[in-house]
Amino acid sequence: MTHASPTTSAAARVRARLSTRAASLVALLIAVLWTTPTFGLLLSSFRPKDEIKSTGWWTFFADPNLTLENYQEVLFGTSSSSGRLASFLINSIVITIPSVLLPLALASFAAYGLAWLNFRGRDWIYIGIFALQIVPLQMALVPLLSFFSEGVSVAGIQLLPAWELGDTGRFAQVWFAHTCFALPFAVFLLHNFMAELPHELMEAARVDGATHGQIIRRVVLPLVAPALATFAIFQFLWVWNDLLVGLIFAGGTAESAPMTVRLAQMAGTRGDEWQRLTSGAFVSVIIPLVVFLSMQRYFVRGLLAGGIKG
């Protein structure tokens, strides 16, 4: 290499520069391809109805024309076709908050018990919960729905009554379903974090006469706060963006169905009303996007913990 002639090294330099050029071009192409569709949707949602339906959003730059009318109509319009999305937006909020809090609480207690208490069968219970992660939620849908609507009866004897929930009561079904489905991952994630806390810390707290309740409150939860945040943001995105569970357990009306269910309906039946679809889709996207961007650190940490370290 020391005797390389100047010409080859110059050629190599040219080639290297070309390859970085080509590389940058490919990277740029991917970045453009990944952002343009969302940008087109966002821009379209502010264009007047007639223009969305007759010309492409790229013509906007030749003839700029913006309005908020689409948002007004899709959120608050009262005609049956308008979307009434504000109502579904509230449903999504009502569904999401307890569906994040409940598994968080139950899994924290269970994970603590599995990580720091010694009792017979502990390992088997942990393996059992862990193994439940392999059950796709499709396996649970039909029987769980009949559990809500018909109760439990064995050999003709009614053991548990049906839930008999009308309208807003349906929210409880959705919370229940989301909580059950979230538990295996939540227990697994929190257990991993809790098990790594130093042994001496727990011993010291016990010697001081703290109860398990006090240890959880004062020692464990503050220390695993990042893990709690990680699970919370995963569960938030999962519940907020979920379609299947909402479709089955929340029904399809403005009384209890989440926004995703409404948007899927609109995309199906009025698939060409782009003024409502674009603004509606953007409304549903903006909240998780804000949460996601402000908490990206925790999200990436969870991704790496769940994706690589386990």
Partner 1 sequence: MGLEFDFGAEQPKLVMLLLGVVAFLAVVGVMLLLLDRAPMRSRSRLHAAILLAPALTLLTIGLVVPAVRTTLLSFMSGDSKTFVGLDNYVWMFSQPEALLTLRNTLLWVVLVPLLVTGIGLVYAVLVDRSRFEALAKSLVFMPMAISFVGAGIIWKFVYAYRPEDADQIGLLNQIVVWLGGEPRQWLQEPPLNNLFLIFVLVWIQAGFATVVLSAAIKGIPAEIVEAARLDGAGALQMFFRVTLPSIRPAVIVVLVTQAIGTLKLFDIVRTMTNGNFDTSVIAVDMYNNAFRFGETGKGAALAVFLFVLVAPIVWYQTRLRRRVQ
Q: Pick out residues in 201-260 that bind partner 1 (CB under 8 A).
A: 206, 209, 211-214, 216-217, 237, 240-244, 247-248, 256, 260
139 vs 181: CA distance, rounded Å: 11
220 vs 206: CA distance, rounded Å: 13
Q: Cβ of 255: how many Cβ atoms within 10 Å? A: 16
56 vs 59: CA distance, rounded Å: 6
Least Å distance, CB 240 to partner 1, is 7
* Options 70, 263, 273, 302; binder of partner 1; rule CB under 8 A: 263
* Options 3, 5, 6, 37; binder of partner 1; rule CB under 8 A: 37
* Options 120, 124, 156, 198; binder of partner 1; rule CB under 8 A: 120
Least Å distance, CB 40 to partner 1, is 6
Per-residue contact flags (x/-) with partner 1 for residues 169 to 188, judged by CB under 8 A: x-xx--xxx-xxx-xx--x-
Looking at the DSSP assignment, which residues form a beta bridge with residue 157?
A: 154
For partner 1, the binding residues in 42-81 under the rule CB under 8 A are 44, 52-59, 72-73, 75-79
Least Å distance, CB 149 to partner 1, is 12
Buried b (16+ CB within 10 A) or exposed e, 197-226: beeeebeebeeeebeeeebbeebbeeebee
Does 2 engage in binding with partner 1 (CB under 8 A)?
A: no
* 85 to 72, 77, 256: CA distances (angstroms): 10, 8, 12
Does 273 engage in binding with partner 1 (CB under 8 A)?
A: no
Least Å distance, CB 248 to partner 1, is 6
Does 292 engage in binding with partner 1 (CB under 8 A)?
A: yes
* Options 144, 194, 224, 232; binder of partner 1; rule CB under 8 A: 144
For partner 1, the binding residues in 90-119 under the rule CB under 8 A are 90-91, 93-94, 97-98, 101-102, 105-107, 109-110, 112-114, 117-119
Does 31 engage in binding with partner 1 (CB under 8 A)?
A: yes
* Options 10, 14, 26, 68; binder of partner 1; rule CB under 8 A: 26
* Total of residues contacting partner 1 (CB under 8 A): 131
CA angle 261, 40, 275 (to 5 degrees): 50
Which DSSP symbol is given to 19? H
Asked if 99 and 239 count as a contact pair (C-beta separation under 8 A), the reply is yes
Least Å distance, CB 198 to partner 1, is 19
Task: Look at the block and give the residue holding tokens 């809500």.
Answer: 148
* 188 to 97, 112, 128, 224, 237: CA distances (angstroms): 21, 11, 11, 13, 18
Asked if 288 and 239 count as a contact pair (C-beta separation under 8 A), the reply is no
Question: Which residue stretch of 33-41, 60-68, 194-202, 222-230 sits at the interface with partner 1 (rule: CB under 8 A)?
Answer: 33-41
Amino acid at 308: I
